[in-house]
Amino acid sequence: MTHWFHRNPLKATAPVSFNYYGVATTPAAVKVCNDLRLSRTRLLELFTDSSCNPEMMKNATDLYFSLLQGFILSLDDSSQECKLRYIQNFKWTDTLQGQVPSAQQDAVFELVSMGFNVALWYTKYASRLAGKEDITEDEAKDVHRSLKIAAGIFKHLKESHIPKLITPVEKGRDLEARLIDSYIIQCQAEAQEVTIARAIELKHNPGLIAALAYETANFYQKADQTLSSLDPTYAGKWRKYLNLKSCFYMAYVKPVAKRFACLISKFERHTVTMAKLYCYFQKVPAEAPQLELKANYGLVEPVPFEFPALNAHWTPETLAAFDLTKRPKDDTAKPKPDEEVKPLKEPDIKPQKDSGCQIS
């Protein structure tokens, strides 16, 4: 069954060279910086590579994040802040507010922004697979898994890392709680769409399908309501999608309930002899019976996510080799004011089967 999912664009970012001339005083320190630059560039390339798969993405993210952790984590497991956390300025755009970038001189900002893009990539990978005309069972499982992974990343960022930012999150920006919550809920709802499609194909209990459809509709409605206080200029298109999906899955419930009533009637017509004649002349109820619409099976929970451990190249000696007293006075680590943040050129991938669905 082909699925149709709305997607917001990826975040774009300014290039980062990680060149700290004079500050990185040993070959080991310089190598870490070079590895950071190369692994970041590679990860950004994979975001727009249509041939990238989850294994490639995981390998690239594990490498970059394990290196970036050296700018954030204390090597002695103490609560003391790493001295490199504020050495580099990072610039990122927003999924809703176009190419208007935000900048923070904070490695945690880079961690959560890049992590946000990784979660978005998993949703886009799921959408690409789900749009295939003849999606296989294994591909459907990959769609389901990718959406749960994305939800888990968003959840982890919200709970464990965004609160550590020194600069407060701007309202209406990606890292604000309202948007993060909406992304999490949308991922859960879309994963449940896959569950519902599978349940229909396998002709599972109509009551179960109705309950899952009801819960999925409520997920979409909740995501929509979470965005209701945002400027419609930015969130209007997204909210239309969420509202449409909510209405669509709520519409599943009544037909399924009527079918359930019909099945009950057919079953009753084949019971004991004394009941046969009575049941035979009973009409299918005009009103669908009240089904138990609290699903106890098939509900989606985010896959727990953790960033990788610190890269082995980060040793006390390597960290000590960064001499912050030798930083240029004009702080060349900061991007130039007129530095352009170019949007990521995403592949134009459309469903192989035209569903006719479009949000405008």
Three-state SS string over 121-190 comes to HHHHHHHHHHCCCCCCHHHHHHHHHHHHHHHHHHHHHHHHHHHHCCCCCCCCCCCCHHHHHHHHHHHHHH
- The DSSP result for 171-240, as a single string, is TTSTTSHHHHHHHHHHHHHHHHHHHHHHHHHTT--HHHHHHHHHHHHHHHHHHHHHTTTS-HHHHHHHHH
Considering the entire predicted model, what is its pTM?
0.85
> Per-residue pLDDT for the chain (360 aa), expressed as one digit of tens each?
567 888 999 999 999 999 999 999 999 999 999 999 999 999 999 999 999 999 999 999 999 999 999 999 988 767 788 999 999 999 999 999 877 899 999 999 999 999 999 999 999 999 999 988 888 899 999 999 999 999 999 999 999 999 999 999 988 899 999 999 999 999 999 999 999 988 888 888 888 888 899 999 999 999 999 999 999 998 999 999 999 999 988 887 766 555 544 444 444 444 544 334 334 444 545 555 555 556 555 578 999 999 999 999 999 999 999 999 998 876 545 555 556 788 888 876 555 555 555 555
Contact 147, 191 (CB under 8 A): yes
Using the structure block, give the residue that is written with the tokens 């990784």.
118
Beta bridge partners, 90, equal: 104
Q: What is the pLDDT of residue 269?
A: 46
**Chain length of the chain:** 360
pLDDT of 355 reads 52
Which residues are CB-neighbours of 312 under 8 A, at least 6 positions away? none
The pLDDT tens digits of the residues spanning 173-228 come to 999 999 999 999 999 999 999 999 888 888 888 888 888 999 999 999 999 999 99
H/E segment holding residue 308:
none
The pLDDT score that the predictor gives to residue 271 is: 57
What residue type is assigned to position 340 of the chain?
Answer: E
> Is the dihedral angle over the CA atoms 343, 347, 351, 354 positive or is it negative?
positive
How remote is the C-alpha of 139 from its chain's centroid? Answer: 18
Bridge partners (DSSP) of residue 91 are: 103
Query: Which residue shows structure tokens 């690239």?
Result: 60
